[in-house]
Chains A and B, each alone.
Chain A
Amino acid sequence: MELIRISDVEKTYKTGTVALYDLNLSIKKGEFVFVIGASGSGKSTLIKMLYREEKPDKGSIIIGGINVAKLRNGKVYILRRKLGVVFQDFKLLPKLTVYENVAFAMEVFAYDKKEIHKRVMEVLELVGLKNKVRQYPDQLSGGEQQRVVIARAIANKPKLLICDEPTGNLDPETSMEIMKVLDEINKMGTTIIMATHDRDIVDKMKKRVIMLEEGKLIKDIEKGKYYNETV
């Protein structure tokens, strides 16, 4: 089943930079898709349009039945509740513990304390941080912080997880650990779209790969074929 359909999307920033054009793309439920391309090719722009941080100038982006391109500012939260977002910079609240950072995302939904506790412990176990719930972000390594962010992003059980260079600040080994966590989340049914520079990761993961070049989609490589294509 189709989760995301992007049709004829074009994005020009106020500065006149054409960041994306002529973009057509369909992503099925449960897929894991990498978005790759040189710096400035439009990866982050695509990601931002998916969670409606930016609006396309033309075309439509349908996510789970919502036309994100036409979504009014006051309604953006409806979309955001259906997806999780992970960035390169971790965006954790420094004064809250690991537990509180994850619970923070759930409090927005006004679950009760018991529900929150159960789910927070569940996702922290999933990312392997159950023993660090009381620590503060600055007492964690980069990889651990990123895992807290992932836990927070999936706490509300989103159907879609959007990641913009989640391993950008991490060493290769830690990056692979993060990828394992993401893979596991994907196997549980969450669709994942991840923009990255890291060719090693893309190589190893054997997933669908979308390649951008100067704002244009130039290759859409099926799951597992990436290595062959690029040799």
Chain B
Amino acid sequence: MKLFRTISRYFRDAGKSVIRNFSLSLASISCIAITLIVVAVALVLSYNVENFAESIRKDVTVVIFLDKDTTESQRQKIAEDIRKTGNVASLEFKSKQEAAEETKKQNDIFSSIVDGWTDETNPLLDSYMLKVKDVEKIKETVSTIRKMDKINTINYGEEMVDQLITVFKAIEKITIGLVIALIVVTSFLIANTIKLAIFSRRREIEIMRLVGASNTSIKIPFIIEGLFIGIFGSIIPIIITIYGYNSLYSFFDGKLFSSSLAKLISPTPFVYNASLILLLIGVVVGMFGSWRAVRKYLKI
């Protein structure tokens, strides 16, 4: 009971303080809201980029052609060595006969040509179809494989994959940098708000100390005030995220550029997870800002 009363008093004091310094709190709340909106955009971007990268990852196939004179045991050895690179999601062998069959299916002209081939005259090569686990390491993996015995040529969408990875990384870096900068600015602003709250209550604090309030009980309401600022600041970004992403998703009908590769991730549960992250960041930044002010200006 006593603990409950103490806690409810902390919250009441914090609430009063937010209202008393409303114009100031409003500045902090807006700043945190702007930060969180950028965070939300960053989340939408990075999750979708991640999703997009994932589908590319699943789609990029490295075709490894083997020399004509490769023996059965050499072939086995190559498969083993490829697996040893550790970057293998799947590995399939495609014999030249299978390749010929596939070619036949492509069109009628090919079909008649291929029909004329025997095992000896088939100009196609045996190959391994490799799907990698980590597309960012694809270059490394390919160059390792290239050094192996009996490798003829290796093909993969080298250029495109490289470019995409570079773009994704750049986008990620920019958004992370922006978010960090905004968080720093916001926590300064919150620290300043709490500082002024402390000054506006300094008489009260002095009296509280005189009548025997513990340091913790003097500090906690200010920390809670930071918490409130964080919570209030995250409301609008959360609403924007939930409604905004849902309408974005239905506007594009779940796809970008009508390509099956570039799918938007579905809004549920993404928007709720994102909201939770926003609330968490708001709360942490709010409390961190006020904690800094309390440490600096409530020296006891």
**A: which residues have CB within 8 A of B?**
51, 73-74, 76-82, 84-85, 91, 93, 104-105, 107-110, 112, 152-153, 156
Contacts and interface: CB of A to CB of B under 8 A. Distances in A.
Contact of B204 (A51, A76, A82, A93): A93
A108 B1 contact: no
Given A77-B212, A81-B212, A156-B212, A110 B207 contact: no
Nearest to B217: A108
Interface string B1-36: 110011001000000000000000000000000000
A110 B9 contact: yes
A110 B2 contact: yes
18 contacts: A51-B210, A73-B215, A73-B300, A77-B209, A77-B215, A78-B212, A79-B212, A80-B212, A93-B204, A104-B204, A104-B207, A104-B208, A107-B9, A110-B5, A110-B9, A112-B5, A153-B211, A156-B211
B209 A80 contact: yes
B214 interface: yes
A51 B207 CA distance: 13
B1 A91 contact: no
A77 B212 CA distance: 4
Given A91-B203, A93-B204, A108 B2 contact: no
In terms of DSSP, what is the predominant structure of the interface of chain B? helix
A152 B211 contact: yes
Nearest to B5: A110
Interface residues of B, number: 19
B213 interface: yes
Nearest to A86: B210
Contact of B212 (A73, A91, A93, A108): A108
A104 B208 CA distance: 8
B102 interface: no
Interface hub of B5, B209, B212 (most chain A Cβ within 10 A): B212
A110 B211 CA distance: 13
A76 B300 CA distance: 9
Contacts of A76: 209, 300
Contact of B211 (A73, A74, A78, A80): A80
A108 B215 contact: no
Contact of A80 (B2, B9, B204, B210): B210
Contacts of A74: 214-215, 300
Given A104-B211, A108-B208, A156-B211, 9 more contacts: A77-B212, A79-B212, A82-B212, A85-B210, A91-B206, A104-B207, A108-B217, A110-B6, A152-B211
Contacts of B210: 51, 80, 85, 91
Contacts of B1: 112
Contacts of B206: 91
A152 B207 CA distance: 10
B292 to A, nearest CB: 19
Interface centre among A51, A81, A110, A152 (most CB of B within 10 A): A110
Contacts of A91: 203, 206-207, 210
Nearest to A91: B207
Contacts of B214: 74, 77
Contacts of B208: 104, 108
Going nearest first, the 5 A-B pairs with the smallest beta carbon separation are A81-B212, A80-B212, A105-B211, A108-B213, A77-B214
Nearest to A79: B212
Contacts of B6: 110
Contacts of B203: 91, 93
Contacts of B215: 73-74, 77
A92 to B, nearest CB: 8
